[in-house]
Amino acid sequence: MRRVTTIAMIAGLAISGSKADAATTTANLSVSMTISAQCITSAATMTFPATGVISTAVDTSATISVQCTTGTPYTVGFDQGAGSGATVATRKMTNGAATINYSLFQDSGRATVWGNTVGTNTVAGTGNGNAQTLTVYGRVPVQASPAVGTYADTVQLVVTY
């Protein structure tokens, strides 16, 4: 009988394990990240349709994308472009010394010129963390038609935040 009792005690210890051997300790891992105000932008190419004599206004549009951190206020503007003598009201596409006047607008009715003076001729928004798309409306007004060729300009998109 002693033998059965001894075997039962050994089996009981093997099954239950030894509580004295197991130990635990805990600590907290602090995790953090700082989000700074930031905006990123992209712009499509604005291409006016091919034409000959510019006897009527020629219109087109393009889109830009502004993605700012949530809650970040921003303004979107465009400079006057690279054409010699250009202003934000009358930008100039060039081909050598020849130019074609054009304008960029904030609205489809082409009434509000898009410039780069915050609070005057820029568009304001607030970031929501996602890309927000804005449409830029272009117009080449009636003017004397220059020589045949391809005319181009580069306008800088400026986002202030």
| Alpha carbon separation from 9 to 2, 5, 13, 75 (Å, rounded) | 10, 6, 6, 80
Q: Let me know the angle formed at the C-alpha of 61 by 55 and 67, rounded to the nearest 5 degrees.
A: 160
3-class DSSP string for the chain? CHHHHHHHHHHHHHHHCCCCCCCCCCCCCCCCCCCCCCEEEEECCCCCCCCCCCCCCEEEEEEEEEEECCCCEEEEEECCCCCCCCCCCCEEEEECCEEEEEEEECCCCCCCECCCCCCCCCEEEECCCCEEEEEEEEEECCCCCCCCCCCECCCCEEEEC
Contact 81, 115 (CB under 8 A): no
Tens-level pLDDT at each residue, the chain (161 residues): 555 445 555 555 555 555 567 999 999 999 999 999 999 999 999 999 999 999 999 999 999 999 999 999 999 999 999 999 999 999 999 999 999 999 999 999 999 999 999 999 999 999 999 999 999 999 999 999 999 999 999 999 999 99
pTM of the model: 0.82
Model confidence pLDDT, tens digit, residues 92-104: 999 999 999 999 9
The pLDDT, as a whole number, for residue 3 is: 54
The 10 Å CB-count burial string (b at 16+, else e) for 83-119 is beebebebbbbbeeeebbbbbbbbeeebeebbbbeee
Q: CATH second-level architecture of 39-160? A: Sandwich (2.60)
Domain boundaries, the chain: 39-160
The pLDDT, as a whole number, for residue 20 is: 65
Contact 84, 44 (CB under 8 A): no
